[in-house]
Structure 1
Amino acid sequence: MEKDEPTVKETTDQLAPSSSVNESSFPKKRGFGAALFPPGNTPGLRPRAKNHCRKFWWCDGLVLAVIVLVIVLPIIYVAIPKKAQHDVNASTLEIQVQDISDPTSSTIHLKLVSVARSGSSFHPTLDAFQAALFLEDTEPNIIPFGYVEIPKTNVEHETTITVDQTLNITNMDQFIDYNKVVMNSDEFRIAIRGRTGLHQKGLSKINVDYNKVVTMKGLNKLSGFNITGIHILTTNASDGSNMNGTVSIPNPSVLTVDLGNVTLDLSVQGTPIGQSLLPDLVLRPGDNVVPMRSTVNQSLVIGMITSSFKNGMLPLDIVGNSSVSNGQHLEYYEAAIQSNTLHVDLDVGSALAEIGLNITAL
């Protein structure tokens, strides 16, 4: 008997897939990728990723933390401090007022008004700090001539900084050199050095070095110094002076300097003829006109006029002798005025004519 042909239903049942899928029917991944993304019950990338996160979340967190530290820590501890130091270095400082008063043998009172300028987009706060004062190019191991207390400062594009304090002279030799430079220079440079903390919102304190060199106008050897209004006294004054007048002293700088009682030595072609006193001399910016009292050898001067300088113009050399305030010698100013010799053609003929001595008739 012939075997019956299979029915349509039986054929269909034989071709239909099983309702249960055996994982072994799919090719297995091997190696590192399979370890990180182990297969789940359902094929495809998304289920594998979910399965990876479920099993290896701790590893992902560790990797993420390492990546963050590698990127963020150099920014916080290297890039930002470097940027902060760069901005401090790039800023400028202009001293607009320097007022020195109440001098003693070892101290002065100092008022400084400065303007700091910064092009940075950041506006941090600088802690108060102590800054050392040097002449430019001073060796690092040299003691500064003084320290100023810089107040806490909120840095803007332009920031006014005021210092008002008694300054103790910590290195007299340096301060003497500084005053000589101020006296004899058209311009001079002073270094300001210190270390402070910088605070930017959202960041911890950053330590920065403050190292500025400031260019200032000096007294330029008192160029333009002149003696005017000379009067010869026929009777000595109570202090022994026998000639008085006024002195004009230009000051092209921003310095105001209290020099105390300044005594000047007078000579003509190397021959001393007397001394002049400028009492309570304070040099302020601009032209200064101050009184002068002199004690001179009148007979010697008249002899010079009648023999050598018959036009009545006496070539006078003037050198600083002393600077005294409240009975104390100010050696730092004395060294400066002694280092500068002034030359003036003094019209003595007019002063002699005023007391009735006509040099043309002598």
Structure 2
Amino acid sequence: MAHGSDKTIRAEQIEQVEVTSWPGFGQKAKRHFTRWWWLHVLVFCVCFLITTLCLIYIGMPKIAQSGVDGSTMEFTDLQFLDPAPGFLTITQNAVLHSSSIFTPTLDPFKASLYLVTNDIFEPIPVTSLAIPRAHVLHPTSNISIVGQRVAIADLGQLTDFATQVLTLENVTTALTGKTKLHEGYLPVVDVHYNSSTTYQTLNGLKGFNITEVKLNLTAPDGEPNLHGSIYFPNPSVLTVALGNVTLSLATKVSGVVGNATLLNLTITPGNNTFPMAATLDQAKALASTDANGFMDVSITGTSVIYNGQHITYYEKALASNVLSLKLNVRQILADSE
């Protein structure tokens, strides 16, 4: 009997040990979270706050700058008016293209206008422009500068710019500056604006022609004796006020054979036609005429005067673009009778 009792006692002890064994991981976790739930909520909130702040104060500036860098500008109207030796009046209307989902507002800022040649920024800006406050929408928004009088920062750069505008098919310029970006209730971000734009220009005045030419054989010496119209297309959105322009007329045989004057010349988009008055040395012109009655003429800009002042940057640009034209002298004489 004693042996049986001992076995029963040991069995009860084993059952008791099994019943009082350590709880599993799930039970431990449940007990832990039940007791310390508030601590976990606090840790989660702190981590969420840190992540959010990092996104706002570290990620947001990068996102904002990336959005600005990804935007492009397309000019719809670009006017250079009222030229002076040290100043220009600029009107600029443009469409701003943005692929960003954000619609930020940029504070007004001062931007430097650079000429970009072969993707290389020139070392000195042409001028500076006051860019107005702009609300950037997706995918497009408008930005305008109207009648802004600007000082020429570097005459050499403006001369190079004017020369490229006159002689090339396209030109590239860039606006650069620093401003502040606002996006809703997010912190204000400092951004660097740097936008290059390539646009059509005057393309060397291709299509240039002189029409309706008549010669006044009885005009007094020194007075205009040749009249007609100068025509050329302007494929760009550019408007350029030049003023009174003098052109030199020359041939290989006789050299300079005369000069032509265009008064109050302003080039506008589309087809341009201007009245011309010229003083022609008839003897030299006839000596330069071939057997078929044609004269090959080289036409070069020599003087640009606006409000009584020489505009040297336009004079140098015109001098760099020599135009060639074949005039039918026999036909001109026949039309002049």
Question: Which TM-score band applies after superposition, normalised by the shorter structure?
Answer: 0.7 to 0.9
User: Between the two proteins, what is the percent identity of the paired residues?
Assistant: 34
- Kindly report which structure 2 residues correspond to 1:1-362, keeping only aligned pairs within 5 A, or say none: 49=33, 51-52=35-36, 61=42, 63-64=43-44, 66-136=46-116, 142-156=123-137, 157-164=139-146, 165-236=148-219, 240-269=223-252, 271-305=255-289, 309-356=290-337
Higher relative contact order (CA 8 A, sep 6+): 2
Larger radius of gyration: 1
Alpha-carbon displacement from aligned partner over 1:243-272 (angstroms, at most 9, x marks no partner): 111100211111010011111111011611
* Inter-CA distance 49–153: structure 2 relative to 1 (3 Å threshold): same
1:110, distance to aligned residue in structure 2 (A): 0.7
Alpha carbons 1:230, 1:348 under 8 Å: kept: no
Q: In structure 2, the residue corresponding to 1:202 is in which secondary structure?
A: coil
TM-score, normalization by structure 2: 0.85
Q: Distance in 1 between matches of 2:185 and 2:231?
A: 57
Q: In structure 1, the residue corresponding to 2:83 is in which secondary structure?
A: coil
1:228 partner amino acid? T
Alpha-carbon displacement from aligned partner over 1:85-114 (angstroms, at most 9, x marks no partner): 111111121001001111111111111000
Alpha-carbon displacement from aligned partner over 1:152-179 (angstroms, at most 9, x marks no partner): 1111121111101112111111111111
* Inter-CA distance 251–243: structure 2 relative to 1 (3 Å threshold): same
Q: Distance in 1 between matches of 2:238 and 2:308?
A: 24
Q: Distance in 2 between matches of 1:298 and 1:207?
A: 67
1:235, distance to aligned residue in structure 2 (A): 3.4
Q: Distance in 2 between matches of 1:161 and 1:238?
A: 54
User: What is the alpha-carbon root mean square deviation over aligned residues?
Assistant: 2.6
Q: How many residues align?
A: 313
1:291, distance to aligned residue in structure 2 (A): 0.5
Query: 2:11 maps to what in 1?
Result: none
TM-score, normalization by structure 1: 0.79
1:234, distance to aligned residue in structure 2 (A): 2.6
Q: Distance in 2 between matches of 1:92 and 1:336?
A: 29
2:208 partner amino acid? F
* Inter-CA distance 75–296: structure 2 relative to 1 (3 Å threshold): same
Q: Which runs of 5+ in 2 are unaligned?
A: 1-19
Q: Distance in 1 between matches of 2:323 and 2:266?
A: 18
* Inter-CA distance 252–141: structure 2 relative to 1 (3 Å threshold): closer
